[in-house]
């Protein structure tokens, strides 16, 4: 079985109740839930929440694959990790070791159903244990050190042309796939041999701040999600 797991809390300091705030005419969590609903590889969608208000909104979607899970209060705090509610759910469920656990974050509404399916297929056709979605960045990155700063992805004395530069892959936070067994053994969303699925550059945006909201809404208004 392939489970899509979307954790959403009621508390959000930067954007109050952001998971059900309307984005391009729909509650934020609707977009990732719809992508999971339309994904061919997903058998069941679990939306884990601590909020009765979110629960009511989510149930109104009437998605056939969707179930709501009442997450425990201790795993719905500002300091709670996503892994804590993942493990909580798995331990209470009847999932098997080899079932695939597909973590999807509601703050990435640019994730589409074909992204999920292609990502799953890539993992299935590889010898990897887990996979995450990411975007390719072609900026030159530096890290601060006691001696100043040092480049971490290029040689500044031999600056490459952009067209010759592979850049680096950055997680975009949209989707992660691993087996139930690996998650329980490692208490982590990705583990073992890890590969990545590259998504379009605009999917680098996650909704954490009001400015992110405006950027993503404008992308969507340009027709990004017309097919889903």
- pLDDT beyond 90 at 98: yes
User: Which is nearest to 134 in space by CA: 166, 103, 109, 171?
Assistant: 171
Q: What is the pLDDT of residues 22-64, one digit of tens each?
A: 999 999 999 999 999 999 999 999 999 989 999 999 999 999 9
Mean pLDDT confidence for 154-170: 90
DSSP calls for 95-157: --TT-EEEEE-TT-TT--HHHHHHHHHHHHTSS-SEEEEEEEE-SPPEEEETTEEEESSS-GG
User: Angle CA(60)–CA(83)–CA(115) in degrees, nearest 5?
Assistant: 60
In CATH terms, 2-134+171-224 corresponds, of 1.25.40.10, 2.60.40.10, 3.90.550.10, 3.90.45.10, to 3.90.550.10
- pLDDT beyond 90 at 222: no
Q: Which of 69-83, 107-121, 131-145, 153-167 has the lowest mean pLDDT?
A: 69-83
Active site residues per annotation: 159
- pLDDT beyond 80 at 13: no
What is the per-residue pLDDT for 89? 95
Backbone Cα Rg of the chain: 18
What residues contact 60, with CB distance under 8 A and at least 6 apart?
none
- pLDDT beyond 90 at 221: no
> What's the CA gap between 88 and 181, in Å, rounded?
14
Q: Where are the chain's structural domains?
A: 2-134+171-224
69 versus 209: the higher-pLDDT residue is: 69
Reported confidence tier of residue 105, pLDDT bands at 50, 70, 90: very high
């Amino acid at each position: 079985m392939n489970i899509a797991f979307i954790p959403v809390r009621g508390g959000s300091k930067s954007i109050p109740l952001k998971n059900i705030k309307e984005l391009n005419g729909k509650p934020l969590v609707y977009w990732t839930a719809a992508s999971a609903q339309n994904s061919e590889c997903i058998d069941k969608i679990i939306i884990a929440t601590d909020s009765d208000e979110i629960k009511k909104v989510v149930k109104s979607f009437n998605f056939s694959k969707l179930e709501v899970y009442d997450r425990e209060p201790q795993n719905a705090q500002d300091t709670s990790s996503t892994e804590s509610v993942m493990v909580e759910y798995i331990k209470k469920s009847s999932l098997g070791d080899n079932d695939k656990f597909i973590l999807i974050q509601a703050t990435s509404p640019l994730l589409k159903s074909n992204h999920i399916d292609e990502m799953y297929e890539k993992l299935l056709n590889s010898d990897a244990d887990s996979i995450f979605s990411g975007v390719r960045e072609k900026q030159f990155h530096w890290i601060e050190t006691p001696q100043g700063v040092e480049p971490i992805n290029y040689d500044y004395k031999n600056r490459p042309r952009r067209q010759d530069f592979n850049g680096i892959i950055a997680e975009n936070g949209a989707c992660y796939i691993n087996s139930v067994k690996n998650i329980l053994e490692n208490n982590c969303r990705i583990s073992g041999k890890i590969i990545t699925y590259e998504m379009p550059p605009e999917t680098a945006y996650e909704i954490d701040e009001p400015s992110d909201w405006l950027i993503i809404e404008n992308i969507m208004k340009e027709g990004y999600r017309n097919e889903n």
